[in-house]
């Protein structure tokens, strides 16, 4: 028989923004990016340096903290993606969405 989850545990399990990767998985991703950028070291040097710094920070961050930061980054990403789309002044559908949003803020 399986153990019944509390409501908070249940929602945590359903959370699509929850980091299920290990710290090692995230570091491996960083290393793959760096390897790809090394094909053009001169053109990508600033990206390589930034990712090396990020990789070092990930290694020093405790896993529970990394998971909380990941969740916040994902939420910010969704918000920025929405704001970026709404800022597109050429799309007529987005103009209608901006109108709806401005009514909501009043």
Give the pLDDT confidence of 44-78 residue by residue, as tens digits: 999 999 999 999 999 999 988 988 888 888 888 88
To the nearest 10 degrees (0 to 180), the angle between helices 92-104 and 63-86 is: 110
Mean pLDDT of the chain: 83
Tell me: pLDDT of 32 over 60.
Answer: yes
Of the chain, the percentage scoring pLDDT greater than 70 comes to 85
Tell me: pLDDT of 17 over 70.
Answer: no
């Amino acid at each position: 028989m399986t153990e019944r989850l509390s409501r908070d545990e249940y929602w945590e399990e359903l959370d699509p923004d929850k980091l299920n990767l290990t710290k090692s998985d995230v570091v491996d991703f960083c290393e793959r990016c760096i390897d790809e950028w090394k094909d053009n070291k001169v053109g990508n040097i600033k990206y390589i340096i930034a990712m090396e710094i990020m990789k070092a920070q990930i290694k020093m961050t405790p896993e529970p903290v990394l998971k909380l930061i990941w969740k916040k980054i994902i939420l910010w990403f969704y918000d920025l993606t929405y704001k970026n789309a709404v800022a597109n002044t050429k799309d007529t559908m987005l103009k209608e969405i901006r109108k709806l949003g401005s009514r909501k803020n009043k």
